[in-house]
Structure 1
Amino acid sequence: MDDPGNHPTRRTVLAAGAGLAAFGLPLPTGRRTARPGPLAAGAVGPAALTPQQQAGQRVVFSFPGTTVPQALLDQISSGQAAGVIINSGNVSSLSQITAAVQQLRQANLSSPDPAPLLLMTDQEGGQVRRLPGGPTQSEKQIGQSSDPASAAAAAGTTAGNLLRGAGININLAPVLDVYRTAGDFDDQYGRSYSTDPSVVSACGKAFITAQQATGVAATAKHFPGLGPATSSQNTDLRPVTLTTSLSSLRGTDEFPYTAALAAGVDLVMVSWAIYTHLDASHPAGLSSTVVQSELRGRLGFTGVTITDAIAAGALSSLGTIGQNAVAAAGAGMDVILEASGSVANGQAVVTALATALQNGTLDATAFGTARDRVNALRSRLF
């Protein structure tokens, strides 16, 4: 997500695997590099699932406070959720969130298709950390270090081990935005490695490779790039239009994604900004031109696409969260992220997608292909 939010107190916590071991979950043993076929052996096909279940398996939920609501546990056990995002307000301590994550995992065992949930958070480093612990350096500090790629790799390992110890299998990091000026949108929180796309590329690749070696999936964001955004251009709060030239977008902002894709990054988060030289009419995550033609077609990404927060202010004038979720799915987004802290909002997204699938607004074949990509990722996670 764009908004750094309230990060936890910066106290040092060892990123050991004690949390997983306590619940009988496997410790890191290295990452499988082969990508399986669309449906893993034993996976439940679409014909065996209701439209609500098929829709739910493309939606990531959120919840308020530090106690997991029964409504969310029921949603998961009924097979109507792909995963859950952990926000800063969900975390009071490492032991507390580890226990909460185990509750989510336990509920998923009753699901008709109990592939591992997508359990995610934003553990970028520096000011943007949802769990207490590392990486303590921001991306900007890493980019300015004497050996940026090595520092980025160390940060990736730290983040991966911390999250895996808590049972979280996806990090919504690294940020691959190439910032432009001091104090702009990315730079005000140190969220960009550099103004140099080559430095961003090297650091992003190193972070992704190191983190994914721990078994925690990485997410490159915010495609095609929020580096040109000024300090006030926050898509979580309001619509943002970027007039960056096509040559600058491709030569600077998209440049780090080539290395990220070569490193096998599992997910790419697409921005909610409008890029006038790609599609002047739609935010990127609602644009098939950006998602299908630019990201998948031109760059060749075959992994999982994930929206930024579907309740973002950038989309509020375009429709309800359900309507915007349907538009995002139609544009080619695989996972819809509902991060507002409301289980009811997540349920509204599921209902909207299920209705659109049933009435033909969303193509059933394309819907199934997206679901297969999500399930292929889930089958490879712990």
Structure 2
Amino acid sequence: MGTREGTITVGLDPGLRRLALGTLLGAYPGPVPPDWAVDLVADGLAGHTLFGTNVHDPAQVAATTAALRQGRPDVVIAIDEEGGDVTRLAHATGSPYPGNAALGAIGDVALTRRVYEAIGGELAALGVTVNLAPTVDVNTADENPVIGTRSFGADPVRVAAHSAAAVAGLQSTGVAACAKHFPGHGATVADSHHELPTVDVPLDLLRRRDLPPFAAVVAAGAQAVMTAHIRVPALTADGPATFSRAVLVDLLRTEVGFTGAVITDALEMKGAAVAAGGIGPAAVRALAAGADLLCIGAKVDADLIEQVAAEIVAALDDGRLDRARVEEAAGRAAALAAWTRGAGRAPTEGDTDLGYAAARRAVRVEGVLGELGRPLVVQLYAASTMAEGRVPWGLGPHLADVEEVRVVAAEADPESLRRLAGERPIVLVGRHLHRLSGGPELVGALAARHAVTVVEMGWPAQWRPTGVRAFVTTYGASHANGRAAAEALGLAG
């Protein structure tokens, strides 16, 4: 495949290398784009995705996007800024906006549009051109480890309405929306970052349950759709949807009618890389299936980008890829970039007050809160997904003169916590408590002999503990959700 000198792979046809680069969405480490990241953009790389490690503060992000544009003015600069539990701009503190589950629970599509317009305004002001959002999956599995609060809910009609509103709000600011994850990740009980999940359902169920939100965002003009690394046996046999023409061409383009750019979920994820035998082969298979812009992932350097480009060129040489297909893909990626530079869309200001107000509207209280005074707040440790990253969550930042302890549910001793609380009531805070190891047992043991209020900041499953004073649901764990919960409990500073 040739050897690499600087940012150019020796032995590759320059025209084919540029063509291959035009289908790739790279990434780089740190807050300052290294020279190779900018040089590859000048050589034809479609663009880069920004992750939390690339974000320190707004001024730095604006400088970053300006630096990338030095490589080429129409570079695609993408980010995962869903609000709620998935944020890159606010990864150090938590998002000032509630996520999709909270917005879906409120049920006000006009509010959803305004929240996404506010998010889009912030991104546009910083020079970001594509938001890898909204998540439009219908979350029908309470055990879903990767979607959950990122979804507008479990009802396809409600999810479709809010998804269309989110796209309209976001794109009104000139930031392209990328609806994800086609053909629907909401029924999975595995995380495609770590394995290949399976959704084994008949096509008619997929059409009724999972496809309506995608039809709605296509009708709303979504500029991009992201693929899912999930196996749907009725369509994909043993491989992921990302590698399936039946999914990307027959279903998405022909049946749903999408004409924009198809962006893959990160090819470094095991749901794709393992299935293909590596990131390079995964890129070839995704292009052959009908994908246009290939998101390599977060752990990327110049060598990896060159290796993937070289694999695409080799596939053009040996017949695994047709040149017309790659030219079509690069053309759609370029058209996406051109749309974001279109005239008539001025950046708007973000509105974090809107986010906090929306989070308050989402809080639901079952039972009686009463007067808590100064309770003992017990936050249960919950691992974050790779999509979320390690973003702070909970009531801690919002508490006024209230003691808080953090424990691992499966290792916590109920009697020790009761002694620590003394006469004070306990407020127990968790995420996805119904599936947290030791979580339901700890709640039950505490509630049997103590006044306990539970705050659920994850996906609101059907599980409810017995014996608790109240059960509070926030529909997410963003900074805004945490403040809203603290206010509802009368504990906010």
Deviation track 1:41-95 (CA, whole Å, cap 9, x = no partner) reads xxxxxxx96100011011000011222111111111222x001000111111111
- Is contact 1:135–1:155 with CA below 8 Å preserved after alignment? no
Letter in 2 for 1:349: V
Tell me what 1:126 maps to.
Answer: 84
1:62 aligns to 2:19 (yes or no): no
Offset at residue 182 of structure 1 (A): 3.3
**Aligned with 1:199: secondary structure?**
helix
Whether the 8 Å contact between 1:177 and 1:222 is mirrored in structure 2 is yes
1:179 maps onto 2:143 in alignment: no
Aligned to 2:192: 235
C-alpha displacement of 1:202: 0.4
Partner of 2:309: 350
In 1, are the aligned partners of 2:146 and 2:191 still within 8 Å (CA)? no
**Distance 1:175-1:146 versus aligned 2 partners, 3 A rule:** closer
2:296 pairs with 1:338:
yes
Decide whether aligned partners of structure 1 residues 186 and 179 sit closer, same or farther in structure 2, where only a CA change above 3 A counts: farther
TM-score (structure 2 length as normaliser)? 0.64
State whether structure 2 residue 15 is matched by structure 1 residue 50: yes
Q: Is 1:361 matched up with 2:320?
A: yes
Partner Cα separation in structure 1 for residue 300 and residue 309 of structure 2: 13
Do the aligned partners of residues 235 and 197 (structure 1) sit closer, same or farther apart at CA in structure 2, a change above 3 Å counting? same
The offset of 1:187, in angstroms, is: 5.2
Amino acid in the other structure paired with 2:196: P
Q: Secondary structure at the match of 2:299?
A: coil
Q: Distance in 1 between matches of 2:325 and 2:147?
A: 38
Residue 309 of structure 1: SS of its match in structure 2? Answer: coil
More relative contact order, 1 or 2 (CA 8 Å, 6+ apart)? 1
**TM-score by structure 1 length?**
0.81
Q: Aligned-pair distance for 1:359?
A: 3.3
> Do 2:197 and 2:271's aligned partners in 1 also have CA atoms closer than 8 Å?
yes
The alignment-based identity, stated in percent, is: 31
Cα distance change, pair 366–246 in 1 and its aligned pair in 2 (3 A): same
Is residue 321 of structure 1 aligned with residue 279 of structure 2?
A: yes
Instruction: Measure, in 2, the Cα distance between the counterparts of 1:66 and 1:131.
Output: 12
Amino acid at match of 2:283: A
The question of whether the paired residues in 2 share the 8 Å contact of 1:185 and 1:227 is answered with: no
Q: Distance in 2 between matches of 1:320 and 1:187?
A: 25
Determine the structure 1 residue equivalent to 2:39: 74
1:190-247 residue CA offsets vs partner (Å, 9 max, x unmatched): 10001101110000000101111110000110000011012xx111111212212222
Q: Which amino acid aligns with 2:106?
A: S
Correspondence for 2:457:
none
1:323 offset after TM fit, Å?
A: 0.7
- The answer to whether structure 1 residue 303 and structure 2 residue 263 are counterparts is no
| Residues 1:90 and 2:51 aligned together | no
How far did 1:377 drift?
1.8
Secondary structure of the structure 2 residue equivalent to 1:240: coil
Moved more, 123-132 or 341-350: 341-350
Q: Deviations over 1:129-167 (max 9, x none)?
A: 1113856111000000152x1121012101110100110
Q: Over aligned residues, Cα RMSD in angstroms?
A: 1.7
1:141 and 2:98 matched: no
Q: Which residue of 2 aligns with 1:158?
A: 118
Q: Distance in 2 between matches of 1:139 and 1:297?
A: 28
* Secondary structure in structure 2 of the residue aligned to 1:352: helix
Tell me which residue corresponds to 1:278.
235
3-state DSSP of counterpart to 2:142: coil
For 1:121 and 1:135, locate their aligned partners in 2 and report how far apart those are by CA, in whole Å: 17
Report SS of the residue matched to 1:129: coil
Quote how far apart the aligned CAs of 1:186 are: 4.7
Report the AA paired with residue 288 of structure 2. G
Instruction: Supply the distance in 1 between the matched residues of 2:272 and 2:160 (Cα, whole angstroms).
Output: 29
Could you list the runs of 5+ residues in structure 1 that have no partner in the other structure? 1-47, 110-115
Deviation at 1:360, TM superposition (A): 2.9
After alignment, is 68-77 or 211-220 more displaced?
68-77
What is the rounded CA distance, in whole Å, between the counterparts of 2:187 and 2:208 in structure 1? Answer: 13
What is the match of residue 159 of structure 2?
200
Q: Aligned AA for 2:25?
A: V
- Distance across 1 between alignment mates of 2:304 and 2:201: 33
Superposed CA offset, 1:109-133 (max 9, x none): 5xxxxxx111100111111111138
| Conservation of the 8 A alpha-carbon contact between 1:124 and 1:135 | no
Which residue identity is paired with 1:128? V
SS at match of 1:277: helix
Where does residue 26 of structure 1 map in the other structure?
Answer: none
Unaligned runs of 5+ residues in structure 2 are 1-12, 342-493
Q: Is the 8 A contact 1:235 1:312 kept in 2?
A: yes
Kindly tell me the number of residue pairs found equivalent between the two proteins: 324
Letter in 2 for 1:331: A
Judge conservation of contact 1:85–1:121 (CA < 8 Å) in 2.
yes
**Aligned 8 A contact 1:305 1:335 in 2:** yes
Q: Secondary structure at the match of 1:130?
A: coil
CA contact (8 A) 1:134 1:158 kept: no
Q: Give the drift of 1:351.
A: 1.4
CA distance in 1, matches of 2:131, 2:187: 24
- CA-to-partner distance for each residue in 1:273-318, whole Å, 9 max, x for gaps? 1011222222000011111111111111111001000111113333
Structure 1 SS opposite 2:180: strand
* Bigger-Rg structure (1/2): 2
